[in-house]
Amino acid sequence: MQAKLTFTATAPATAAPGASISLALTAKNDGKAAEVLRFRNGGRVDMQLIASGGKVVFHWSKGMMFTMALAAERLEPGASKTWTMNAQLPADLPRGAYTVRIWSMATGLETISVKTINVRVMP
């Protein structure tokens, strides 16, 4: 894939321990040809919550099972696609500053689609 894709992400600026937060990742095709995003299963995006020291304190898909079916999504030139997800934060999450890392689970985009957003966990 000649990635002519750009990615943007959204997450809340603040959250409470145990809260469900809504996240979104958008892919936009800035190229002149259609791009086909291929997925190995029913998952489309994944996320991690990372503490200030770099430790992953929450990984959304850890222990999850997805539909085992190959899929493809086509993005025409100039088109965009947004995937949303809800993640239930751990109830015992200490307050403080965290980084949300969100990315596409499309084959070949797992690293180039990574976006980070700062989130403050407050009671």
Look up residue 7 and give its two tokens: 């990615």
* pLDDT > 60? residue 3: no
Output the DSSP codes for 103-117. Answer: EE-STT-TTTT-EEE
**CA dist 41 to 26, 28, 65, 70, 122, Å?**
19, 21, 9, 5, 35
Domain ranges of the chain: 5-121
pLDDT of residue 1: 45
Question: Superfamily for 5-121?
Answer: Intracellular proteinase inhibitor BsuPI (2.60.40.2360)
Pairing of strands 14-15, 115-121: parallel
- Local structure of residue 80 (DSSP, 8 states): E
User: What does pTM read for this prediction?
Assistant: 0.90
pLDDT category at 30 given cuts 50, 70, 90 is very high
Residue 34 has phi, psi (to 5 degrees) of -65, 145
- Per residue in 43-90, pLDDT tens? 999 999 999 999 999 999 998 888 888 999 999 999 999 999 999 999
What is the percent of the chain with per-residue pLDDT over 90, rounded to a whole number?
86
Which residue type is seen at 3?
A
